[in-house]
Amino acid sequence: MKLLNSDRMRLVVVGYVATLVLCGGSAKADFTFGEPTNLGPTVNNSSNDRMPSVSTDGLTLYFTSDRPGGHGNHDIWITERQTSERNPEGYWIEPVNLGPAVNTPSTDSHPSISLDGLTLFFASNRPGGSGGEDLWVTTRSTTNEPWSEPINLGPTVNSSSRELGPCISADGLELFFHSNRSGGQGDHDTWVTTRATTSDPWAEPMNLGPGLNGPAMDGGPDISTDGLMLFFRSYGGSSYGGADIWFSKRATVNDDWDMPVHLGPPVNTSAEDSMPSVSADGYILYFQSNRAGGLGGYDLWQAPIIPIVDLNSDGVVDAADMCIIVDHWSTDNSLCDIGPMPWGDGIVDVQDLIVLAEHLFEEIP
């Protein structure tokens, strides 16, 4: 994917300024997004296909759909592929309903698969909860075993209001979600509950505060594998129309979130662009949209996340860019901190050379 130079420079500037202003100097790499593509008619259909969550190996995609063949209302479905090769068409097979252990005649939605693939958080308004949608969890001992009977996360996390959109962190110690419970900034907000170990109970949820949440509907959180980037959707702020996708960074998992940044085009459009989910390798942003070009209703879309590797902006990725990395070796230079994908790790090292090597000799217009 090649961006127009003016677009690219604008994103560089936005990213750079955001980094300086919002990250307090803990600089991380700049990146852009390629043109989103529809996951295609094997995965999407005329029903509402929404809320993607991809497994760590990139081979199983969990999502929500109200398509025929389910157990009633919205259900959780999966599609699989044999290779996670970054082919925009993918090799996803015909989706399969997750079955009656997890799905019910109620609304079953918002899947979030854990790093090890053995725990699935989701939302449901089935009987047995605290009222409205609640967060539930199902587990399995191996990826070949069936899912267990789901368990309600209980009244510390759930309330009589709506709890939706769970996203479990890679370490399993933070569970982000959205809720319209009291104590927020208005409408739905993003909240987080934490636990000391995966054996401990979840603590009282905390609102992420007025930086990330506003009076409009916010939520649909997705936490990056390193725990330092939170993608989410909001109907507020400088929306292009309907919901748009934003991100916020934090320097460490103990720091506050920076002011959020709007993803801009081509991810956000005047349609509803929502429910982001970044692949564990940091190369693909999955999301839902009802933009033109789909199969009907909401569809699942993906956009490549592209590191900015033409470090000297001379139009080609070559040895000169490698030299710039070497010149900044072992520093925290944000320009060179392009690996691991997609936002680096705060140090210029071999990870950055690896990412650059993947784009060697590419011409950047």
Residues that bind Ca ion (CB under 5 A): 44, 49, 71-73, 75, 103, 108, 130-132, 134, 158, 163, 185-187, 189, 213, 218, 295-297, 299
Which tokens go with 284? 């693909």
Give the nearest distance from C-beta 326 to Ca ion in angstroms: 46
Q: How far is CA 80 from the centre of its chain?
A: 19
CB closer to Ca ion out of 266 and 297: 297
Q: How far is CA 31 from the centre of its chain?
A: 15
Asked, as a colleague might, if the bond just before 95 is cis with ω within 30 of 0, I would say: no
Q: What is the largest CA-CA distance in the chain?
A: 62
Cα separations (Å) of 221 from 10, 48, 115, 139, 247? Answer: 26, 19, 16, 21, 9
- Cβ contact 250:260 at 8 Å: no
CB closer to Ca ion out of 73 and 194: 73
Helix (H/G/I), strand (E/B), else coil: 12: helix
Give the nearest distance from C-beta 199 to Ca ion in angstroms: 24
Enumerate residues 6+ apart whose C-beta is below 8 A from 180.
161, 162, 187, 188, 189
Give the nearest distance from C-beta 184 to Ca ion in angstroms: 6
Give the nearest distance from C-beta 194 to Ca ion in angstroms: 19
Question: Among candidates 157, 169, 168, 158, which has minimal Cα distance to 204?
Answer: 157
CB closer to Ca ion out of 49 and 174: 49
CB closer to Ca ion out of 273 and 352: 273
User: How much is the CA Rg of the chain, to the nearest whole Å?
Assistant: 20
Written as one letter, the residue type at 178 is H
Which tokens go with 271? 């349609």
- Cβ contact 302:47 at 8 Å: no
Give the nearest distance from C-beta 256 to Ca ion in angstroms: 18
Which tokens go with 363? 């011409």
- What is 134-153 written as a DSSP string? EEEEEE-SSTTSPPPPPEE-
Cα separations (Å) of 313 from 107, 149, 173? Answer: 50, 55, 41
Give the nearest distance from C-beta 178 to Ca ion in angstroms: 8
